[in-house]
Structure 1
């Protein structure tokens, strides 16, 4: 076991929690956006559509950079097999717990909300399997991707560590944001070309739920995960991200404008999705600088209130999705204003999620199932719930 000095990264903990919690306004605004979802308002809201697109354009890219950062930090603290076991348990157990307790009831509810309950028996075996793959994984997809990335990390992190020990000059020692942007632009083009090739020759693979989560999503977020690990290793790279860059801010603004234009004028039958992946690959990188630099200055402190939400963020994220769908199906239609409905939805979902979080803290079995961590016999009522890194 390699022991690394434990230096608490308060700003990264906070950013990770807020990115997780941003899933709540993201999904509630999805109800009122022009995007088709499980439940939608009668009339879409322009500003909530833009707000929804803004969150969606960068949130998970930055999240996976932080995940790679903390994953490699823990990799240096444990023997390899122990590291893999700890990481997989802490993301896999909550995911497996949420399927029967959250996404399965959510799927059954949606069958009746959308009037599809009677159609189920007419589906082929593959269609039933594929529907369940999409609906049962649902908003848990990032946990599945983290399990895959952790497994790939067994080889990737060993390679990174060997390079450190051999004192080989790494590419990141002389990196600049401009060079990184070009690298991620190339990665985005490569990913888009790969997706287009599949679309032409094997189109059915792109509609397969498990293939989408395990292969396509993993490949897209893999560069961000590796970048996070390299950020932990390379002090220059970390300094690059926590130092404000006007060019990154300007580039991120232009990137989001391009994202919106593509969403508005693009067509799924053309190159809309491929263009989106190129844009979000670069935009995600630029937003790492924007988010890290702001977080380093505004969130790099210890606070009981912030710590509470850092600890609660995973649980709140897991339960917010079915709560949002409940709100969208039965409460939102009674509210005429989209803006008022959005605010009411935030109050309902966050309030309900916090109450459920407090209740689950008082049940040791649920604390274990939603954290993946063994619970001490004598835990205080407000024991912390683990977060995926």
Structure 2
């Protein structure tokens, strides 16, 4: 256990907040994209479809690298049981809070928007359960994955810490971006092989919401979570990510083109999802370099405004989804321009989310439920004798 806090990584805090807040333009652009969602505009927009695919192709991979980095930092700071408790509370309590307060009302609203209230009774018991899992957790899936990864990391992080004490050559102290590319390509192929095997053996399990979130999503993001922890352990690996690489930039552009072509011409009945896993695994690695290098150069400073959005990012992400669906269901139909609708949606959702955030700050119970952080007792005023 190390009680000395490391130097604050302002650029990583900022990147994590921006990645979280990118969920707002991602979901609003989803309304106007060619992808089928809960609510869609009458005519899709090609540029908003492209914009939506761009965000989706890399955002969560980079997010989980940062999560792994900070998770290992806290792992070294706290005893094991306290570390697990702190990490699970920080993500588990907001997730459990959001289900009854946000995603359940959102689900009920969508039943009326889509006119499916009458068909609910005709569903089997399992279909009702599975529908509720998909609808109530889909917006919160990354929090569930973080709970699973934190639990799995009890073993993984202890193994990594033991490796640190061994005086021998370690792979990540001498690795290159080229070697990492081949490694993540292998991870992508392995994940695709696992998914294809499950599809052949028992395909219906892939449609189970809880299995998809807790198992498949966790399997995909494990390499990014672990490489984030390795970046904290090995300064050279961290420097590799924060140093701009023209090859990673070119690779990211080509990777996104491949991702978009797979989205356009791939078929879910064929190898579309397996191909996507290979592309996004490698693309995510390259974008870690692009985003970290960009953020380290432009965002590595302390600012009260940045700190505000860092603290607000999780709450804003949680509430923006029902706000976006409300906007898409009842306001979008009255705006004929997709671009204008997208911009108006940003103003509406961000404005409402900030108002709700300020309200929740003034209610201690809500502050605890949406942050997972224990409420601090007011400090007693100290009276000094003069």
Shorter-chain TM-score category? over 0.9
- The answer to whether residue 189 in structure 2 is matched with residue 194 in structure 1 is no
Residue 25 (str. 1) matches residue 34 (str. 2) = no
Once the 2 structures are TM-superposed, how far is the Cα of residue 174 of structure 1 from its aligned partner?
1.1
Say yes or no: does 1:325 pair with 2:313.
no
Paired residues of 2:3 and 2:77 also in contact (CA < 8 A): yes
Give the structure 1 partner of residue 172 of structure 2: 172
Task: Name 1:37's counterpart in structure 2.
Answer: 37
Whether the 8 Å contact between 1:32 and 1:338 is mirrored in structure 2 is yes
Structure 1 position 15 matched with structure 2 position 12: no
Two-structure CA RMSD over aligned residues (Å): 0.8
> More deviation in 369-378 or 57-66?
369-378
CA–CA distance in structure 2, aligned partners of residues 377 and 15 of structure 1: 31
Contact in 2 for aligned 1:244/1:289 (Cα 8 Å): yes
Contact 1:4 1:76 in 2 (8 A): no
| Partner-residue secondary structure (3-state), 2:77 | coil
Structure-1 residue corresponding to 2:146: 146
> What's 2:376 paired with?
376
Counterpart position of 2:130: 130
* Alignment check: 8 A CA contact 1:32 1:342 kept: yes
State the TM-score, normalized to the length of structure 2: 0.97
Instruction: Report 1:250-329 matches (<5 A).
Output: 250-329=250-329
TM-score w.r.t. the length of structure 1 is 0.97
Aligned position for 1:212? 212
Question: Hey, what does 2:83 align to over in structure 1?
Answer: 83
Gaps spanning 5+ residues in structure 2: where? 380-386
Q: Distance in 1 between matches of 2:288 and 2:167?
A: 27
| CA shift for structure 1 position 171 | 1.1
Shift of 1:3: 2.3
- Shift of residue 166, structure 1, vs aligned partner: 1.9
Q: How many Å separate the matches in 2 of 1:168 and 1:190? A: 28
The answer (yes or no) to whether the contact 2:5–2:77 under 8 Å persists in 1 is no
Q: 1:201: how far off?
A: 1.4
- CA drift of 1:5 comes to 3.9
Equivalent residue for 1:343? 343
Does the CA-based 8 Å contact 2:67-2:225 persist in structure 1?
Answer: yes
Counterparts of 1:45 and 1:348, CA distance in 2: 20
Work out whether residues 133 and 209 of structure 2, in 8 Å CA contact, stay in contact via their aligned partners in 1. Answer: yes
Once residues 374 and 197 of structure 1 are traced to their aligned partners in structure 2, the CA distance between those partners, rounded to angstroms, is 44
Distance 2:351 2:377 in 1: 29
Determine the C-alpha separation between the residues in 1 that align with 2:183 and 2:128.
40
Q: Deviations over 1:276-305 (max 9, x none)?
A: 110000000000000000000000001111
Q: Secondary structure at the match of 1:269?
A: coil
CA displacement at 1:169 relative to structure 2:
2.1
Deviation at 1:2, TM superposition (A): 2.1
Distance 1:117 1:304 in 2: 46
CA distance in 2, matches of 1:198, 1:124: 24
The 3-state SS of whatever aligns with 2:118 is helix
Structure 1 residue 167: deviation in Å?
A: 2.6
1:173 Cα deviation after fit = 1.2
Consecutive unaligned residues in structure 1, runs of 5 or more: 380-389
**Which contiguous aligned blocks of 4+ residues in structure 1 show a shift greater than 3 angstroms?**
none
Q: Secondary structure at the match of 2:267?
A: coil
Task: Report the number of matched residues.
Answer: 379
Instruction: Measure how far apart 1:138 and its partner are.
Output: 1.9
Deviation at 1:15, TM superposition (A): 0.1
Within 2, Cα distance between the matches of 1:377 and 1:108?
38
- The alignment partner of 1:202 has SS state of helix
CA distance in 1, matches of 2:21, 2:5: 29
